[in-house]
Amino acid sequence: MSAATATAAKSASAPGAANPRGPRHSIMSRSAAMLIMGVFTLYFLTPIWWLLVSSTKTGGQITGTAPLWFTLESVPTFLANLGNLFTYSDGVFGRWLLNSALYAGLGALLGTVIAAMCGYALAKYEFRGREAIFNIVLSGVLVPATALALPLFLIFSEVKLTNTLWAVFLPSLVSPFGVYLARIYAAASVPTELLEAARLDGSSEVRTFFTVSTRLMAPALVTIFLFQFVAIWNNFFLPLIMLRDQVLFPVTLGLYAWNSQISQIPELRVLVIVGALVSILPLIGTFLALQRFWSSGLGAGSVK
């Protein structure tokens, strides 16, 4: 965004560039920046607004009324849609939400712990092959998760774990980017002197890690957790390939399956829309709750 602002400022000040640092320049550049940010905000929020509005309509109203504004009976329709969503097909949608919460919540938590330990070890301990290991992990960042789905399916088939929750849960625990971030952050924020002091006081390495180091690394850990949570929540391809039993589906796959039925079962259209709205609420909630850590964590990682 800063690059965009700078460009905008330059072009805004070009016509009457007598006094580039004057108040006029400042107002021009500010309003240009605001304009650009406003356009982007609109661009990103309009689909969500549409989703919100559409979820308060019946199937017929979605096509028959103004797409970006509510109808008169919005509230009762929304409640009815919500009721249908959670009762359709024996309330399987609720189950999907719980599954997503389990995969994403627990997966991100354990994944963060693993990434933190790994990154911390790579940052704070000297051992042979340390850089080699780090480079291998780093190259993992470059491999898209989608490309690994099919090989994973064949491996999980060998051990007869396809179509179980493990098939989605276990691969979710691994986050090469998390390891990278944890290492960078641990190197910068955990002073080696502090660890030596802890050792002198007789604290074991594991205890030092959990009681001292993790607190110092907290912003990075929250960042890793959020990244992982979002990645797992939005993960679609792996569950698509692994899961057959609809009680194991995460909410993304469930909605996709419903969406692929719309031409045959048109009433699913409304359920997909309301379901999509409900499915992004946990993400928004998590973001708002952890927002402060998120930004400080990102900033700290980026300058080192």
Partner 1 sequence: MRAHYGKATAAFAIVSALALAGCSGGGGASETEASATSCEPASGPVELTFTTWVPGMDKVVDLWNKENENIKVKVQTGPNGNSGTYQNFFNQLQAGNAPDVGQIEYDALPNFRVQDGLENIAACEGVADAQDKFVDWTWGQVTFGEEGAVYAVPQDSGPMAMFYRADLFKEAGIEVPTTWDEYAAAAEQIKARGSYITNFPRSDVNWFAGNVWQAGGQWFSSANDQWEVNLTGDESAKVANYWQDLLGKGQVSTLPSFSDEWNASFNTGQQWTWVSAVWGASTLASGAPDTAGKWAVAPMPQWEDGGKAAGNWGGSSTAVLKGSKHPYEASKFALWLNTDPEALALANELGGLYPAAKSATDLDAFAGGVDYFGGQKIYEVFAEASSNVDPNFTWGPTMTQTYTDVSDGFGKAAGGNGTLLDALENGEKKTIDSLKSQSIPVKE
Q: Is 20 in the site for partner 1 (CB under 8 A)?
A: no
Residue 163 makes contact with partner 1 by CB under 8 A: yes
Rounded to whole angstroms, the Cα distance separating 189 from 119 reads: 13
Tell the burial category of 223 from Cβ atoms under 10 Å away from its Cβ (0-12, 13-18, 19+). buried
The reply on whether position 109 binds partner 1 by CB under 8 A is: no
Q: Which stretch binds partner 1 (CB under 8 A): 58-66, 112-120, 139-147, 289-297?
A: 58-66
Stretch that binds partner 1, among 56-64, 98-106, 215-223, 227-235 (CB under 8 A): 56-64
Q: Please give the structure tokens belonging to residue 84.
A: 């249908």
Three-class secondary structure of residue 94 per DSSP? helix
In whole angstroms, what is the distance from residue 78 CA to residue 57 CA?
Answer: 7
Residue 151 makes contact with partner 1 by CB under 8 A: no
We find the least distance from the C-beta atom of residue 78 to partner 1, in angstroms, to be 18
159: contact with partner 1 by CB under 8 A:
no
- CB within 8 Å of 54: residues ≥ 6 apart: 62, 67, 273
Between CA 100 and CA 281 the distance in angstroms is 12
By CB under 8 A, tell whether 89 contacts partner 1.
yes
Q: Judged by CB under 8 A, which of 59, 105, 140, 282 binds partner 1?
A: 59
Which two structure tokens, joined as six digits, stand for 231? 């990645």
Q: Is 267 in the site for partner 1 (CB under 8 A)?
A: yes
Written as six digits, the tokens of 290 are 């952890």
Q: Does 264 bind partner 1 (CB under 8 A)?
A: yes
Q: Which residues bind partner 1 (CB under 8 A)?
A: 59-60, 62-64, 67, 89, 150, 153-154, 157-158, 160, 162-163, 240-241, 243-246, 253, 256-257, 259-269
